[in-house]
Amino acid sequence: MTIAAFLLLALVAGLVIYDWATLRGKNRRALVVEIAVFVAGAVFIVFPDRATALAHVVGIGRGVDFLLYPTVIWLVRESLLSRRYRIENAERLTEVVRELAIARASHVK
């Protein structure tokens, strides 16, 4: 195993341990998904040839590209969806605050 692979595995393990600890007492179901994805990632880190073999099957040259392309596509989409949700929530908050302000408005004597 290369130094880079070792460092990446340490990072993955550290993130899982940190998330597990900080989610103590909370719903950890999403963490199971995270761990599953990270374990798959760890396999490709330790055995990069497996990723390359899979990439060749679908016509992509390098294993890292095979993982990177869908990851970037998914992250861009997730980023845009998150932005939309934030803006829609801000619009809802504005409406609530406004209706409250109007309902409580009063004439100054």
Partner 1 sequence: MPVHNGVEALRATLETLRARSEAITVFLVDDGSEPPIEPKDLPSASDAFRIVLARHVVNLGQGAALETARQLALRDETKYAAYVTMDADGQHRAADALALARAIEEGADVAFGNRFLGDSNVPRARRAVLFLARWFERAITGLRLADAHNGLRAFGRSALERVRIRQNRMAHATEIKLLVRGLRIVEVPVSVRYTKETLARGQRNAGAALILRDLMLQYLFGDSK
The residues of the shown chain that bind partner 1, judged by CB under 8 A, are 83-84, 87-88, 90-91, 93-94, 97-98, 100-102, 104-109
First to last CA, the chain: 79
* Rounded least distance, CB 78 to partner 1, Å: 14
Nearer to partner 1, 27 or 106 (CB): 106
How many angstroms separate the CA atoms of 78 and 72, rounded? 10
CA gap 2, 45 in Å, rounded: 9
Taking the complex as a whole, how short is the minimal distance between the CB of residue 51 and partner 1, in angstroms?
35
The rounded distance, in Å, linking the Cα atoms of 26 and 101 is 36
CB 20, min distance to partner 1, A:
34
Q: Which is nearer to partner 1, 32 or 108 (CB)?
A: 108
